[in-house]
A and B are shown apart, each in its own frame.
Chain A
Amino acid sequence: GDSVTQMEGPVTLSEEAFLTINCTYTATGYPSLFWYVQYPGEGLQLLLKATKADDKGSNKGFEATYRKETTSFHLEKGSVQVSDSAVYFCALYQPDRDDKIIFGKGTRLHILP
């Protein structure tokens, strides 16, 4: 079945460092891909999304490109801030297949000042 695999955390970086959180997926068809962010004690918020191959989602300095050839949707940010400390979830959604959303296990990110 469909699945999402994220790099395990926690990831600890210094402020202004470059961030990459890897996400790969297994799916048939043409899923939509999402990154969600969970700040401490809060629910998920949509960070960015891409609905077809080669699309690039971007928001708040974060970017991810839908790579069908490598089945990946890695999250990147050029210069992280302390306020980016959170848990990041990669997710796959098949709108034409039962509308279910499949999450990765989440990657906890700590940014040190």
Chain B
Amino acid sequence: GAVVSQHPSRVICKSGTSVKIECRSLDFQATTMFWYRQFPKQSLMLMATSNEGSKATYEQGVEKDKFLINHASLTLSTLTVTSAHPEDSSFYICSALSRRDTQYFGPGTRLTVL
């Protein structure tokens, strides 16, 4: 079956640094990828929709200059958390949409900002 990977699975960084998270569709091409954030004890929140070759579409309230998304190829999207702060600590999940409109989820990345 289709597989989506995320790297790294866990990252700990200092406040003020930037962190890049990769999302890859391993055996299919994904023209659309989604980035979600899982707040502790809450539901998943859609952050942005990433389309290959074009600018990401951000949900209301999500700072596009804070969360930089690049969908460089049909199998790779990256989320960069710039100048990270402790409140950015969260679980970030990506998903990739196949050509058959099926969504496959990555395993998630745990970001801890000290």
Contacts and interface: CB of A to CB of B under 8 A. Distances in A.
A107 B98 CA distance: 15
Given A49-B43, A106-B103, A100 B91 contact: yes
B101 to A, nearest CB: 6
A82 B103 CA distance: 21
A45 interface: yes
A101 B93 contact: yes
A36 to B, nearest CB: 7
Contacts of B49: 42-43
B95 interface: yes
Contacts of B40: 95, 99
A49 B110 CA distance: 23
A73 interface: no
B38 A43 contact: no
A60 to B, nearest CB: 15
B105 interface: yes
A91 B44 CA distance: 10
A101 B108 contact: yes
Contacts of A46: 43-44
A113 interface: no
A71 B72 CA distance: 42
A45 B49 CA distance: 13
A90 interface: no
B33 to A, nearest CB: 10
Contact of B46 (A40, A44, A93): A44
B32 A41 contact: yes
Interface of A: 32, 34, 36, 38, 40-46, 49, 87, 89, 91, 93, 95, 98-101, 103, 106
Given A44-B36, A91-B44, 8 more contacts: A34-B44, A41-B101, A43-B46, A43-B95, A95-B40, A98-B110, A103-B105, A106-B103
